[in-house]
Amino acid sequence: MASLVRSATLRFLKPLGNLTLNYAVNHPRTQTLSFRAFSTTLSPPSKAVVYEQHGPPDRVTRVIQLPPVEVKENDVCVKMLAAPINPSDINRIEGVYPVRPQVPAVGGYEGVGEVHSVGAAVKGFLPGDLVIPSPPSFGTWQTYIVKDQNVWYKINKKSPLEYAATITVNPLTALRMLEDFVTLNKGDAIVQNGATSIVGQCIIQLAHHRGIHNINIIRDRTGSDEVKEKLKNLGADEVFTESQLEVKNVKGLLSGIPEPALGFNCVGGNAASLVLKFLGRGGTMVTYGGMSKKPITVSTSSFIFKDLSLRGFWLQNWMSTEKAKGCRVLIDSLLDLAREGKLKYEMELVPFDNFNAAIDKALGKQGSQPKQVINFQL
């Protein structure tokens, strides 16, 4: 019997990535037979920020190692390069945001990465491509992510890393609010509180770029004159502290600027009332945040005699509408402005190993800080 089998060969080819198993049997009366086993591509192991229960982010999050994940035929494996810590990320971990992943979960919602590998059926992506999740997708605070190719959008490789990582949530919110509620023409005016926020800074620059006057309200603070100068350098026409607006006729403070038709509120309380005082008849105030956690109070006369409208904006809700189909084109236009230096805001790139320090800054433990952006390469 042993003489019937002349040789047997077992060998592994390409031990990383696709695994191929060849088994050859030689027999005098038969030709060589070859068998190929099922092939599987796996991602590298991933380092991730996870939370297993809702609560204070500085207490419930921890950094762990995740095992490799199978890259299926329609999947793209992305090596994450950078991802921000947004207020909404903190609210999701706290369990107070309306839409959040089930726990246990990986933190993060937007970011930028580089294609590491692709599934067999993937088209349009190659290793080395710069991509973002568009619309944003849960779980960006990790070094490698595997998701369906439809999640990813390829962007210009020359895009600044920190802007590519943060372009979707805040700048896109600013752009949509400027375009979706009131038709604004060159020479018109808008008013906003929370002007030092990233959305506020984007509104200033996008409005200025379009020739739209912008009136900005900031809270009273030490160094407010420096803050005013910074915002005016971005394109602000007027910047007032809340105490400066404790006058009967706030519009008397304006010189050569028409009554605003559109206002933005991300603070609530008295700061929202100040926005309403500036609005002209038929004006609209759009609320997209409530940092003071105080309600918006509107006088009866404002509704009756000024015919004001109050609206709300939530980017995640907008992403579910038909309008969102064109959001990738809008993202390209915003990234173009960032590359040209026409859209900028202050950020701090933080090494992943310093995540705990970054989350403390994002929580305001050290006072006002630039937006914290996790850099997975450092």
Positions annotated as catalytic residues are 97
Task: Tokens for 81, please give them.
Answer: 């390069």
Residues for the chain: how many in total?
378
Ranges assigned E (strand) in the chain:
7-13, 20-27, 30-33, 46-51, 61-66, 75-84, 105-106, 112-118, 130-133, 144-148, 152-154, 189-193, 213-218, 238-241, 262-265, 284-287, 309-312, 347-351, 371-375
H or E element: which one contains 329?
helix 327-339
Task: Tokens for 243, please give them.
Answer: 């105490």
H or E element: which one contains 170?
helix 170-180
> Are the C-beta atoms of 194 and 291 separated by less than 8 Å?
yes
* Amino acid residing at 373: V
How far apart are alpha carbons 121 and 297 in whole angstroms? 55
Task: Tokens for 272, please give them.
Answer: 């929202």
Task: Tokens for 310, please give them.
Answer: 């109050």
